[in-house]
A and B are shown apart, each in its own frame.
Chain A
């Protein structure tokens, strides 16, 4: 536990910095404090100080409603403090005790009026299945099965009704099994035991959740087990305050909720940049040499292998790996290429900066090479000095604090919410390969005199198609993740994309691209809505890896032709500037649009379709897939 002295120093630092108006520095100190002490008392401090920062530092507003059968109020400040420190300004609404069914079924309920982005259904076994939880020994086989049926079908009904009424994402807790089954060891000997009946409900919940868009399962039973069933529960607080969770574990539920929220907030890390010495292996290669460093399947080298295995798992989720190390490149490359204990090899890294240069500069270069924002980087380094430098110079980077003990490294990375994903697209799984192809493109580009020659050489083929069930997840994911070439930065969950696509006046289009080096996959989205004789572009975005390839022209051309064919006289679209979407700023002007309206948020651009069209670049071959929408 951190000494109270350093905590109270941090607190007075925070207040001093706030008084001086040094907002960013204050934000950093608050994050330090929260990292050192994530407790209920500190949560209240963190939240109250962030209230003062709300207008001063960039925070993403996000709304969460919690439907519950037990006391969650003490978790709310912990959740809000964690969210603030992750750059999310969270508004939380807590429903009445055991009112979740009415809240879901009544379209006028406080739940829907709150218009949350995100809803958590936190119902525990003791409340929804009291017969299975405490009276199991008295139940006949038939009544026990009926209880399972009753609980499963209620939960199923609520999930379906919720899906029909709201576009928000829903996180459903599954049910915990008892720490002490009614029949003791006999429970494990029986087919339909108490634990097994509850697990059957959990299987039913999972099946329904997987059938419905935007409904995700939180494995509460596994969470409780991970922290120890007997320690998790506080019977006294349950009986006196309806709070079943022990004080020390409230933070763990708050963190579990964060792991579901971060992927939706655009705050997820796209790449993990790691140090080498004493991070990927034990020791210093420049001093200890190839045979001296600790790395292998036995202690102590196993700790580093475990971290490498964790990183391989991340790369399977589409997270890019990169390295930034102060080393002699030859020494470090020898380990990466030849050390028998290495699980990671050079091919696993999308970018490498091994030199004696400053790491802040290295991270900037890696972001630029990977074509992602610096804020999409996570940084892992055993050296607190390097971490502090990065935190100060690049506060938007997610810096992961490594504990002292290397055996804890892998768990620290696995537990970090920045690496969570709630769905995986094909693109995610082959991202590392896509980046290797991209390196070849960049090398090729440098050999051409003119951009046009390079474009011709690329032989790009684009396929523009209406959304299909197969592309829906990827389209929603792009709206959530794309920051740079994005004119309106509107984030949509899957189910909202599906609903837009189902309306007759809306069009949801995707563009997929391949060229001579490989297949980029689905890399762009356009969403339009017809409004009288104008077609308004609601969203228009391209993945950063195809910026500067004239594909935006091909896609805009398609929108203009289609709108004109439907009888529209104007094609209009807002450009809403953000800190990151400068690459899309000139999109409309460059394609002949004129500014039509100015508001505090941005500019509305308009193209007169009776006078103008947009030509497809000669070097892009466009195939249009007509959907069955009419």
Chain B
């Protein structure tokens, strides 16, 4: 079974925000996850950059308003730079 980008990001979010992975969907956002504050947002960026080897610009970080946004952004980057 292939691990999708969504799965990977969901696991990271689950670890960082301390909520079960099953409860996280593409629509999950700082509004629906109480522990998703600015520090955890920064931690999420660091985890993405390190785990998925992507670089995120301040503008992109600003636009990550839900898990779905994050997945779309990261998938776009991973496709742009084929390994």
Contact = CB atoms under 8 A, between A and B. Distances in A.
Interface of A: 4, 8, 39-42, 44-45, 48, 71, 73-74, 77, 236, 239-241, 243, 247-248, 250
A119 to B, nearest CB: 21
Contact of A241 (B11, B12, B42): B42
A41 B51 contact: yes
A247 B50 contact: yes
Q: Which of A4, A8, A240, A248 has the most CB of B within 10 A?
A: A240
B47 A39 contact: yes
A41 B42 contact: no
Q: Which of B46, B47, B51, B58 has the most CB of A within 10 A?
A: B46
Contacts of A236: 57-58
B16 A44 contact: yes
The 4 closest A-B CB pairs, nearest first, are A44-B15, A41-B47, A240-B58, A247-B46
B46 A250 contact: yes
A71 B15 contact: no
Contacts of B31: none
- Please report whether the interface of chain B is mostly helix, strand, loop or mixed according to DSSP: helix
Interface string B57-83: 110010000000000000000000000
A236 B49 CA distance: 13
Measured as residues with beta carbon below 8 angstroms from the partner, the interface class of chain B is 10 to 19
Contacts of A39: 47, 50-51
5 contacts: A45-B15, A73-B42, A240-B58, A240-B61, A243-B42
Interface of B: 3, 11-12, 15-16, 18, 39, 42-43, 46-47, 49-51, 57-58, 61
A29 to B, nearest CB: 16
Given A4-B3, A41-B12, A41-B16, A73 B50 contact: no
Contacts of B49: 247
Given A44-B15, A44-B18, A45-B15, 19 more contacts: A40-B43, A41-B12, A41-B15, A41-B16, A41-B47, A41-B50, A41-B51, A44-B43, A48-B15, A71-B42, A73-B39, A73-B42, A74-B42, A74-B43, A239-B58, A240-B58, A240-B61, A243-B42, A247-B46
A347 B50 CA distance: 47
A539 B82 CA distance: 65
A548 to B, nearest CB: 50
Contact of B46 (A40, A45, A240): A40
Nearest to A42: B15
A40 B47 contact: yes
Contacts of B15: 41-42, 44-45, 48
A329 to B, nearest CB: 48
B42 A248 contact: no
A40 B49 CA distance: 10
B35 to A, nearest CB: 11
A40 B61 contact: no
Q: Which of A44, A240, A243, A250 has the most CB of B within 10 A?
A: A44
A287 B29 CA distance: 63
A240 B3 CA distance: 32
Contacts of B57: 236
